[in-house]
Structure 1
Amino acid sequence: MSTVLITGASRGIGAQCALAFAKAGCDVALNYCRSEEKALALIKEIQALGVRACAVRADVAESVQVKKMFEEIRTELGTVDVLVNNAGIAHVGLLTDMTDDEWRRLIDTDLSGTFYCCREALPDMIRAHSGVIVNIASMWGEVGASCEAAYSAAKAGVIGLTKALAKEVGPSGVRVNAVSPGVVMTDMMAGFSDEDVAALKEETPLIQLGTPENIADAVLFLASEKARFITGQVLSVNGGLVI
């Protein structure tokens, strides 16, 4: 049985990933930063499925907190076999209006946080000559989005990190891939009006927006034995909006 760590797992895509892995029989470590109540409620739901689970608070933008998080998980559940780097924040607005602190916070969370977690997980995976990392990117990291320049840059960095790291650790038996979601109905869509959502749906060839379950299914596949010959890839789950 594998132990899976999912960052940003208290809600949205992260929570659905946690449930998907638990239903597959994995022990699950949930990382959260602020939403403790939601994380603890999800833990109870996961434990009811008959697997072990723990919730660990850490801001992935802080390397010291990430290190401590991994130490806690090793004590509770053992070494991490599968890492899902999902934690992230967004920022919508003109680049010229973005402050240094806003830029730094987004890059530190979305890109540096992925790096910190990979760095902590890899020594155990390399020793075991086995392990999987799945990074959550974005279609905007592939093609860029107006008024989301920082987010696009961070997610493009995640894609570059994924491809390079896959080459670096492949000889050690570790696979690294990314899932690149399109427009998914999560809390990040809270700032969009009904008209904006309807327009995005119209632009998507499948004429529908994604769900957290759609993304979780892709993550679970990439972490499974069915994907044992897949590494360094970006699996786009976007309804055909970006091809």
Structure 2
Amino acid sequence: MKKYALITGASGGIGAATAFKLAHEGWNLYLHYYRNETNILELIEKLKVFNIELIPICADLTTEEGIHQVCNSVLNLNAIVYSSGVAPYGLFTDLSEQTIDDMLQLHVKSPLIIVQKLLPKLMKYPESSIVLISSIWGQTGSACEVMYSTVKGAQISFMKAISKEIARSGTRVNCVAPGAVKTNMLNGFSEEELDVLESEIPIGRLAEPKEIADVISFLLSKDSSYITGQVIGVNGGWYT
């Protein structure tokens, strides 16, 4: 039987790594993106070697129209990986109301509505799975990333609640909470700042996107069939 997964934010570091991992395992993929069309086209070209279905979806998930565009583009579905996100850095008092609204829409309302609208498709199958990419800051909070910490914490609360509500349906819901990962989110940090960051992590280095993708793949597989409602930290021992 063909398997279909929706990956939001597929043009980003974690999203693209997840697409490679799932493609290698034979998943057919809906690849959501917004601004990074070049990245998504390059990704699709690289994934063609796996002989799977690749369906790009361009949508702005900070808008109502974008959310519904994603939902309306999906037919068969066995899994959702919600990997969309941005992380503005700075004092909370300096954030504009528009930034706050956009963060709430992208990180909270969008995954809630996408899951709500697509659950009937997932529940057609005896087993299906949802993975939300939260963050270490959703678990413990971070100064200068107050809004990001808030919305990532909300994702964790949503996951814990919805996983209980739908557990008997056969659809599992979990969160992956990465620490510091080598993606574009760290582009604003200097080499010196990254060195300090690495020194704070017990393992002593940043995560590779593939290491996050491996955990996502596990949570979508039958090997994790008794795991739901959990936050899996992938942070090198930075937060335990």
Structure 1 runs (4+) deviating above 6 angstroms are none
* Number of positions where the alignment pairs a residue of Structure 1 with one of Structure 2: 239
Corresponding residue of 1:29 = 30
Corresponding residue of 1:9 = 10
TM-score normalised by the chain length of structure 2 = 0.96
Q: Does 1:104 align with 2:101?
A: yes
What is the rounded CA distance, in whole Å, between the counterparts of 2:16 and 2:113 in structure 1?
A: 21
Corresponding residue of 1:184 = 181
What is the rounded CA distance, in whole Å, between the counterparts of 1:241 and 1:230 in structure 2?
A: 23
Corresponding residue of 2:163 = 166
Q: Is the contact between residue 130 and residue 173 of structure 1 (CA under 8 Å) also seen in structure 2?
A: yes
Corresponding residue of 1:214 = 211
What is the rounded CA distance, in whole Å, between the counterparts of 2:110 and 2:196 in structure 1?
A: 32
1:118 Cα offset (Å): 0.9
**Which letter does structure 2 place at the counterpart of 1:184?**
V
Give CA deviations for 1:74-123 in whole Å, capped at 9, x if unaligned. Answer: 2xxxx111100000111111111111011111111112221122112211
Give CA deviations for 1:144-202 in whole Å, capped at 9, x if unaligned. Answer: 00010000000000000111010011011110000000000100001111111001111
1:69 Cα offset (Å): 2.1
1:207 Cα offset (Å): 0.6
- Secondary structure of the corresponding residue to residue 110 of structure 1: helix
Q: Does 1:80 align with 2:70?
A: no
Corresponding residue of 2:66 = 65
Identity of aligned residues (%): 35
What is the rounded CA distance, in whole Å, between the counterparts of 2:113 and 2:208 in structure 1?
A: 28
Which residue of 135, 138, 160 corresponds with 2:135?
A: 138
1:21 Cα offset (Å): 0.3
Q: Is the contact between residue 126 and residue 169 of structure 1 (CA under 8 Å) also seen in structure 2?
A: no
Which residues of structure 2 form unaligned runs of 5+? none
Q: Is the contact between residue 160 and residue 230 of structure 2 (CA under 8 Å) also seen in structure 1?
A: yes
1:128 Cα offset (Å): 3.0
Q: Is the contact between residue 85 and residue 117 of structure 1 (CA under 8 Å) also seen in structure 2?
A: no
1:127 Cα offset (Å): 3.4
Give RMSD over aligned pairs: 1.1
Q: Does 1:18 align with 2:19?
A: yes
Corresponding residue of 1:153 = 150
Which residues of structure 1 form unaligned runs of 5+? none
Which residue of 88, 93, 102 corresponds with 1:91?
A: 88
1:28 Cα offset (Å): 0.8
